[in-house]
Amino acid sequence: MSDNGFFGSFGGKYVAEVLRRPLDELEDAFNRATIDAAFLEELRLLQRDFIGRPTPLYFAENATKALGGAQIFIKMEGLAHTGAHKINNALGQALLAKTMGKTRIIAETGAGQHGLATAAACAKLGMPCEVFMGEVDIRRQQPNVAAMEMYGAKVIAVKSGSKTLKDAINEAMRDWAAQFDTTHYVIGSALGPAPFPDMVRFFQSVIGKEVQEQSKERKLDVAALCACVGGGSNAIGFFSPFIEKKEPRLIGAEAGGIGPGPNENAVRMSGSAAKDGIVHGYKSRFLLDEDGQVAETRSISAGLDYPGIGPQLASLGLSGRIEFRAITDEKALEALQFFARQEGILFAMESAHAGAVAMQMAKEIPANKAIIINMSGRGDKDIFITSPVFRPVEWELFLQSELDRLHQGVDIHYAKALPSAQKNEGNR
Amino acid sequence: MSNQNQVQLMAHLVAGYPNLAISLSVADALVQGGASFLEIQLAFSDPSADGPAIQTACASTLAKGFTTKKGFEFIAEVNQRHPNIPLFLMTYASLAYAPGIESFIKKAKEVGVKGVIIPDLPFDQDEGLIAACQKNGIAYIPVAAPSMTPERLHKMTQAKFTYIYAALRAGITGSKTTIDDQTLRFLDAVASGGAKVLGGFGVRTGEQTKSLSNHVYAVVAGSVFINEITAHYNPQNEVESKIKIASAIEAKAKEIIGG
C-alpha cells in the first residue's frame, strides 16, 4: 500500500477540488471493501466463473529448448475473459461501484481493451456503461468499438485536444466531476490520482498471487519475472507479492518504438529522456518537453503508447527493485512470431515486449532456474496491426473484397473468390 | 463588494489563441469592454480542469508552437499596455513544476503577474507553490468547488488567501450553469473567511452576473470569449478576423457586466 497516496515521492492527489471529494469517498469505500468478507467472496466467485481464473502457468518447452537457457514459463493472462488482464481490474472496480450504490459506469480507453473489459463487466453486473475514446483511436480500433457496442456500452467519441487516450482520460474525469454522486469512473491502469494506483494493483494482484502458488506447487526456482509496462497495471499486479522480497528479479519491458530519439518511443524508465512531472493527477516519471508539455510517444502497441508510468512502478524503478528494458517494435514483432511458431501461442503486441525480454535473458540464466513471462493479453485483437506487417498483400485483397461485397450486398457464399495473392517473398 | 448594478469582470483568455497577435487584441478588447482583471491561461497539453472549448483552444495554440517563454512575453506585453489591470496567470502543475516552481513564480513576478491559479496544485498538496508566491508577493488563488466537504471548504476559507476562485458548479468550465440559492449559499461560505471571491464556470450572460453581483468580488468568464474567438476566426483573413473578434469580445464583455 501507498503511504497516504505516495510511493516514495511519486503518486499523490494532484487534482482540482471538484475531484477531491469523489476521490476521498472512493478511497474510503475501497479501504472498506478490502476487508469486507462478503465483497471479497463475491469477487472471488466472479473471478473464477466469469473471468476464468486461475489462468494457467504454462511451461514453454519448445521455446526453452530453442533459447537454450532458463526454463521459460508463460502466465496465460490472455486466456482471461475478454482476452487480457484488464478484466481483473474492470470487474473489481465495477463491483466496488455497485456496492457503493453507483448506478452508472464510465471508462476511458485507448486501444479499446480496457473499454471492452469494462463493457463486459458492466453487462454482467447490469450497469449502464459509457466509454470515452478518442476519435483517432476509434478510427484505428474499430473491432473493439464493435465489441463494446455488442456488450451494450455506449462509445463516446472524444473530439477535443489530440483526440487520443489522454484526451479520453480528460473527458472521463470531466464527466465524473459533474456526476460523481451517481457515477464511478473505472481507470484502466495503475495510475492517476490516489486511490487509483493502490486500487488497480489490488485487483490485479490476483495475477501475482496465482503465480506465487503455481510456482511453489511446481517447485520452480524463479529467477526473473518479465512484464510489459505501459501505465503498468499488469506489471504491478504480477510483481505485487514479490516487491518486498529480494528475489526474483523483476523486469519491466517498455516500448522502444522505432528508436531512441524524441517522439520515437515510450521509454520512461530505461532511457534518460523522462523527468519528474505532475500530469493526470499524479506525480511520476513522464516524457515531457522542457516546458512540461506532454510529449508525443510512439509504439506499435497501443497499450504501451503512453507518456507516463504508474507511480509505484516509477518509485520501484528508481530504488532499483524493478529493472527496465526498452524493446523496439521490431524485437516485439520477432518475439510475437517466435512464440506463435514455437508454442502455438499468440501474444498481444504489448505482451510480446515482455516475451522479447525473456528471449534476451534466457541464455544468461542457468537451465535449473525459471523465467516467467506475463502474457498480459492474447494477440487476436492485433490482427489489423500485425496483418499489414506479416501479410500485406493478402490483407489488402481481403479488405478490398470485403468492402466490395458490403457495397454489393452479396452473401459470403455467393461472393466471388479472393484474387490469389502471389505467395512468394516480398510478403514478409 | 461592488455595487448593485456594476459587477467587476475577471475575463479569461488563452495566451496565443488564435495566435499571438490576435490574442493581444483580445486582451485589449476585454479591457475596453470593461474587464477589471485578466486571467491569462498558459496552454497545457492536458488541461483536465477545462471544458472542450478551452481544451481545443489550448491544443491549437500548442500546435502553432506556443512555449512558456512566449506566454511570459505575452503577459509582459499585456502588462505594459494595461498597467492598471491586475493580471492572474492560470495554468497546470506540469508547466510550473518542470522548470521548478520557484523559478516559474519568479519569472511570473518579473512579467507583472499578480496572482496564480493552478487547479491541480491544491492548497494542501501545493509542492511549495504557496511559499514561492508569498516570497514573491504574488497571490496563490485556490479554486473552491461546491462538492467540497464543509470541513475542507472551511480549512480553505480560514487559510487567509486574498482571493478564492469559486467554481459555480461541480463540473468543469464552459457548460451550463444555473445560479440558484444553493450556489449563492456556497459563494457566501467561500467568502466567510474574508477572501475576495472570484466566481466562475459557465458564466455567459448579464442575467447570471446580476444574480451573482452581491455575492462575489468579481465574476469570471472564459469559455464564452473563447467561443466568440473560434466563431469569428478565419485563418484566411487575419486582418478582418482581428477586427471582428475584437468587436465581438468587447460587446460580449459589456453584455456580461451588464453595462
d(CA B245, CA B248): 5
Nearest to B45 among A14, A22, A294 (CB): A294
CB contact under 8 A, A292 and B68: yes
Same domain, A268 and A123: no
Comparing CB atoms, the residue among A21, A178, A278 nearest residue B120 is: A278
pLDDT score for A426: 44
**Residue of B44, B46, B117, B223 to mutate, testing the A interface (most A Cβ within 10 Å of its Cβ):** B46
Measured between CB atoms, which of B121, B144, B171 is closest to A14?
A: B121
Tell me what the pLDDT averaged over chain A comes to: 94
Helix (H, G, I), strand (E, B) or coil at B7: coil
Closest CA to B60 of B97, B32, B87, B23: B23
pLDDT band at A365 (very low <50, low <70, confident <90, very high): very high
Mean pLDDT of A36-44: 98
- Residue B248: the pLDDT is 97
State the amino acid at position A62 in one-letter form: N
Pair (A235, A164) in one structural domain: no
Q: Is the pLDDT of residue A419 over 80?
A: no
- Yes or no, beta carbons of A292 and B58 under 8 Å apart: no
What is the value of pTM for the model shown? 0.93
In this structure, is residue A393 part of a structural domain? no
**Measured distance CA(B183)–CA(B166) in Å, rounded:** 10
Please name the residues between 157 and 176 in chain B that touch chain A, using a CB distance below 8 Å.
167, 169-172, 175
Average pLDDT over residues A115-127: 98
Task: Specify the pLDDT at position A1.
Answer: 84
* Residue among A273, A303, A301 at smallest CA distance from A285: A273
Chain A residues with a Cβ under 8 Å from any Cβ in chain B:
12-18, 20-22, 24, 159-162, 166-167, 169-171, 173-174, 177-180, 275-281, 286, 288, 290-294
B50 a catalytic residue = yes
- Do A209 and A150 share a structural domain? no
Q: Are residues A340 and A360 in the same domain?
A: yes
User: How high is the pLDDT of residue A425?
Assistant: 47
Per the CB < 8 Å rule, is A16 touching B62? no
Is the residue at A59 inside a domain?
yes
Is pLDDT larger for residue B48 or for residue A321?
Answer: A321
B62 touches chain A (CB under 8 A): yes
Q: Cα separation of A101 and B222, whole Å?
A: 35
Distance from CA of B126 to the nearest CA of A (A): 8
**Site of grid cell 502474457:** A375
Q: DSSP state, B77? A: H
Higher pLDDT, A204 or A262: A204
* A255 and A319 co-located in one domain: yes
User: Does the distance separating the beta carbons of A14 and B46 come in below 8 Å?
Assistant: no
Instruction: Determine the pLDDT at residue B2.
Output: 41
Q: Which three cell numbers stand for residue A290?
A: 522542457
Tell me, yes or no, whether A169 and A225 share the same domain: no
The CATH number that applies at residue A365 is 3.40.50.1100
Q: Which residues on B lie below 8 Å from A277 (Cβ)? A: 94, 97-98
Surface of B (220-249) touching A: CB under 8 A: none
- pLDDT attached to residue B172: 53
Residue A13 and residue B125: Cβ atoms within 8 Å?
yes
Nearest CB among B56, B99, B171 relative to A177 is that of B171
Which comes out higher in pLDDT, residue B53 or A9? Answer: A9
What is the chain B residue with the closest CA to A162? Answer: B59
Given a cut of 70, is residue A233 above it in pLDDT? yes
What is the least distance, in Å, from the CA of A45 to any CA of chain B? 36
Cβ proximity of A112 and A144 under 8 Å: yes
Nearest residue of chain A to residue B156 (CA atoms) = A17
Residues A160 and A58 occupy one common structural domain: no
For chain B, give the longest Cα–Cα distance: 53
A108 in active site = yes
- Tell me, yes or no, whether A65 lies in a domain: yes
Q: Is residue A128 part of a domain?
A: yes
Residues A220 and A192 in one domain: no
Q: How crowded is residue B3: how many other Cβ atoms within 10 Å of its Cβ?
A: 8
Torsion of CA A283, A287, A290, A294, to 10 degrees: -80
**A160: its cell numbers:** 477535443
Full 3-state SS string of chain A: CCECCEECCEECCCCCHHHHHHHHHHHHHHHHHCCCHHHHHHHHHHHHHHHCCCCCEEECHHHHHHHCCCEEEEECHHHCHHHECHHHHHHHHHHHHHHCCCCEEEEEECCCHHHHHHHHHHHHHCCCEEEEEEHHHHHHCHHHHHHHHHCCCEEEEECCCCCCHHHHHHHHHHHHHHHCCCEEEECCCCCCCCCHHHHHHHHHHHHHHHHHHHHHHCCCCEEEEEEECCCCHHHHHHHHHHCCCCCCEEEEEEEEECCCCCCCCECCCCCCCCEEEEECCEEEEECECCCCCECCCCCCCHHHCCCCCCHHHHHHHHHCCEEEEEEEHHHHHHHHHHHHHHHCCCECHHHHHHHHHHHHHHHHCCCCCEEEEECCEEHHHHHHHHHHHHCHHHHHHHHHHHHHHHHHCCCHHHCCCCCCCCCCCCCC
Specify if A259 maps to a domain. yes
Cell of A9: 515521492
Q: For chain A, what is the domain count?
A: 2
Q: Are residues A14 and A70 in the same domain?
A: no
The contacts of residue A345 (CB under 8 Å, 6+ apart) are: A58, A60, A74, A76, A78, A339, A375, A378
ipTM for the predicted complex comes to: 0.93
Give the A:B interface size as CB pairs under 8 Å.
Answer: 132
User: For residue B169, what pLDDT is reported?
Assistant: 74
In a domain, A224, yes or no: yes
Residues in chain B with CB shorter than 8 Å from the CB of A286 are 94
Domain annotation covers residue A280: yes
The angle at the Cα of A358, spanning A353 to A363, to the nearest 5 degrees, equals 145
Residue A236 lies in a domain: yes
Contact across the interface for A275 and B98, Cβ inside 8 Å: yes
- Compare CB distances from B55 to A14, A170, A294 and report the shortest one's residue: A170
Whether residues A248 and A322 fall in one domain: yes
**Cβ-contact B188, B199 below 8 angstroms:** no
Mean pLDDT of A11-33: 96
B128 in contact with chain A, both atoms CB, cutoff 8 A: no
User: CB distance A167–B55 less than 8 Å?
Assistant: yes
Residues A122 and A213 in one domain: no
Task: State which residues form the domain around A340.
Answer: 52-82+205-383
- pLDDT of A138-149, one tens digit each? 987 888 999 999
Cell of B174: 464552459
Cis peptide before A195 (omega within 30 of 0): yes
Measured CA angle at B44 (ends B39, B49), to 5 deg: 70
> Rounded to 5 degrees, what angle do the CA atoms B152, B156, B161 make?
175
Instruction: Quote the CA–CA distance of A248 and A242 in Å, as a whole number.
Output: 7
Q: Is B108 left (phi over 0), alpha (psi -120 to 50) or beta?
A: alpha
- Name which of A351-360, A366-375, A402-411 the model is least confident about: A402-411
Catalytic residue among B28, B46, B50, B77: B50
3-class SS at B129?
Answer: helix
Q: In the CATH scheme, what is the code of domain B8-257?
A: 3.20.20.70
Interface test with A, best of B120, B154, B155, B169 (most A CBs within 10 A): B120
Whole-number Å distance between alpha carbons of A360 and A352: 12
DSSP B43: P
State percent of chain A over pLDDT 90: 80
Among A180, A197, A214, identify where a domain stops: A197
pLDDT at position A127 is 98
Q: Are residues A19 and A161 in the same domain?
A: yes
Stretches in chain B below the pLDDT threshold 50: 1-4
